[in-house]
Structure 1
């Protein structure tokens, strides 16, 4: 029978739940979400089905705000999108004709093939009643902002229209037997894919998680587009918190904001490219964390956005090295990239020679080679670049590639001064508080104004003077205090975080770090206040680090001359004492005493090699164990644990693990880990009896 179908007749004759069942959707059992007001069906997506005004069936896609309406809309959206097999535009028919034809085919099915569902009754939904995504049905509009404000996000940033509805509160209720019900409030960030909510990132005090079945491998957290004008740039960072921090630090940017929830997959890059194209955004700004992973994400993004003129891909991701392959018929871009990288390699080589001596041994040459960026040509137009997995090397490659190669969209790479943008935000707010509280006083790094110090400053911009009261206080505690000024450019990869790590690793304590005014355009100057103890076991490493820093053209070390002379003398004396080795206290086991002496001799050589590999912590551990071995006949407890850690590190150093001194050390350890047998008392030996 042919039906004279109109849309009104379709609405009257087609039961949407039965239509969904026919095309493979399943009614979710035990669903209490609707409470007698709607049903939930799951198929290629999740649909909330309800009765609208007038009793017509309506639906709402829980994952796509654009997919909603009547039974007619459901069919139209499936026919136009090829979501369901068999529902597609028909040859020679336009969209609406195809929709009508598919309904006619459904209504012409034999009665036995038409599904019949016994559904509980539902009431008509009141006008304006909202339906929430399955990921957000426990969420409420953002009211509790304690988590965000505790991380420096201001109310004005939260109230920005671009973030309206993009940050929610999730209520999580816990009921334990015999205990009152407790409700937790988390901050929730919906994740979007092609306009649909497909996940939920959750943050709270001491908690982070995600909604069940969230699809983070292909989704992004997104702000809304700026109002009244097109976005000039798409800013992407690793977390929504960093994105909000960046927006607060750069309020003038006309941007669409996105975050990747800590990962950057190929599907996320596809989604970023879709946004750039569909919203006609000319540029993307990579604002990932200022750590190795953040720079790694930059390379992935560059590869995903590379133009057809010079396709780029990451062909190998090793723990210590990344291999990037570029194909370019016209070599100009690759040549420019190579020139940038050559300049970086030259700089690294000069620094290595300055700080460690000329690389004239195989070991040091290999150490240097591991820090350089290497390249080779595979074919007529194919080049590979092997980049060490360090912030400096990755950052240099990324900046050079973004400037020398062609991309589908303009690519900008920006980095925070600290690890991430939220850390920068909190540091910026701290400095604002200091300036507000101290007013116009020219405060120094101790919080004292210039009026307090009636001393002329030494070289540099710092206010530390000779006979400084703070230095006198430190000296009274058996410590020495000095200041380092470090200068950088905003256009280069930030070196300060690595410098701080290196200083702390050798044993220096960083008291304060404050930004200084600098007359250099795009320049950054930071003042670090350092302290150390002259009786520290790490003094040789501390002294060497400070002397190397003083030779760095970007640094000024402000240190009283008597303190500098003292530390060098004490470090030299400590090094001589270390080389002489500790005096062995004899035990009752000749075998163990020989192994102890062998251990001490080998440890002296290995400690020196470890320092040459910048493994100062392991060198200090081994040095301390060597002192203990001179007093004790066995390796046990903490000493044994420290030796195990040192040997594990050595095993990863190709230029050291086969050193004869290391082999000697291992043999001695093997003996010293066994108990030293105590000889029997003379009277027992005379009787030929065993002790005990």
Structure 2
């Protein structure tokens, strides 16, 4: 007799559902997830998403977190089947469909470099303008942590448009002449963002109505665009790419430019991560963001101190079902002391924190408690907590404690007389595991209360920390810290941000540099964006005058530039003087002359001094025991001359304390010198 486990392994759940009247939505489905709708008279009544696991397929209902599971659960929840009928139904189905389900194909084993070349054609990061437009400087881009983690990749807008038109054609028939017309309009607009935004509006209309708008070509024609350069047939730019790796390979990539943000191929369980193998220091913290851009921004705003070392991980958007497993593996392999959740400062970012905090097993206590948060219709939040325990009574007690702790944390800020916003419902109380659902309104305050309560519930207080940006995300914080924007305009008036700067002098210099790099640019300028009640206002501070080949700035801006130039000059002198003083310290010392018993009979102390301009000179102080020198048959003058030679030699050699020869040797040197002079005179 076939068991339920065997049914689950053999049955393709997507195909099984379609044979019972569910319709697959190809536009929403991906290579790893099928979206299916149950319709009545053309109206969607229910939707499920089916995933292919390694052992069997499973599904979930986007609008109901309780409805999820395998083919057995599908029969119970969607068809209301009794247990006694399920086996017969599945047996009949397997008899009609004898083939075994297709498991996901395994990626052939090959190196990361081969994966880059074969799948993604990444190029070394040389074009950094996009990242600099976000305020990320070259020092950060080329830091050891991010080597071989950021790449360039050529991007064809013509090909991008062709892919979009083909996708549209799958949803509604498009005549070949109309496809060619769309490409013609795209080039005419030089593939502007308003053009692609309108194309997206057309696609959404087709999804809702299954037909093209009557005037869709005219709507594309009426969008704002730029004049294409003469003879242009395409617009090719260089993307910035971030590879997404699973445990073995690069399987996807985030590709970005100023108008484009897409993930190439399904990310599945893969994440973007920085490097930790650039030195032998241990990892202190793992910092998790939604975007690699935020990781780079965080690094630049909060550079590691001293010997601190970090591992950055980015989930490329909302965390997927399988990413926590890989993240946990990376955390444990790094042996980091702490995980820092540095996601966005909005409800979506707090939800991300909750779902990561609910899945990572960093302590023994956390291994027995897991949580998943789902939010429906923007405000209806459901936190499903699963616990492991020894027996049913223990489970019942723990469920009661969890219900009390979480509802109290959420309801504590509600004024007396107002309706409580959190309630707990026990989903199941088993002998070894149980589930409880906490329902609440998904506002910021409640989400943060749940976030803090969950970290405590799983025993992660000493292992996990939440750091929120001041703005929406850390890149917005970085932009705020670098308010001076340098941009240039093409001849067709398309504007590009070239960089963001913290100091006026850096922005001023960048205007001149960018004008030299872009001799065909219509305009190069520096400006600030000022927020007002009416919106954002652009205030131009400087521009490049090509006729006179110089930067022209507003009086106040130029004043600040000059002040900073002077400060930089003073700083350069200070650095020069510090270097001279360091050398002087190494050269300072003394020369001593001793008698046969080791007594000092003559000493020259010399010190190298540095003036305010960084110039050095030697100051000498000599002392002699004249009585002892007379007994030894020499004069202080002769000894002084001999010791001056020692001083000169010491300063030239850059030595420290230098002992001169003893008195006997010094007298011998003097005698030899005198004898040499007598010989020359003869």
* TM-score normalised per structure 1: 0.39
TM-score, normalisation: structure 2: 0.40
* Structure that is richer in strand per residue: 2
